[in-house]
Amino acid sequence: MSVVDRVDAPTAHRLAEIFVDRRAIAQNVQHFAWATQTPIMAVVKADGFGHGDVAEIALANGATWIGVATIPEALRLRAQGIAAPILSWLNPIDAAWGAAICHGIDVAVASLEQLYAVGDAARAESASARVHLHLDVGMSRDGAPSDIWSALCVAARALEDAGRVRVVGVMGHLSSADEPTSTQNDVERLRFVNGVRVAHSRGLTPSELHLAATAGALHRPDARFTLSRVGAGLYGIDPAGIAPLIPALTLTAPVAQLRRVAANVGVGYGHDYTTRAATTLAVLPIGYGDGLPRAAQGSAEVTIRGSRYPVVGRISMDQIVVDVGDAAVELGDVALVMGPGSRREPTAREWAAWSNTIEHELVTRLGVRSSRVLRTSDARWAR
Known catalytic residues are 45, 269
Taking phi over 0 as left and psi of -120 to 50 as alpha, with beta for the rest, 202 belongs to alpha
Q: Residue 216: how many CA atoms within 13 Å on its side-chain side? A: 26
Q: How far apart are CA 19 and CA 12, in angstroms?
A: 17
Report the chain's C-alpha Rg in angstroms: 24
Provide the greatest CA pair distance for the chain: 80
Q: Kindly write down the DSSP assignment for every residue of 174-233, as one continuous string.
A: -SSTTSTT-HHHHHHHHHHHHHHHHHHHTT---SEEE---HHHHHH-GGG-TT-EEESGG
* Direct distance between the N- and C-terminal alpha carbons of the chain, in angstroms, rounded to an integer: 17
Alpha carbons 39 and 229: distance in angstroms, whole number: 9
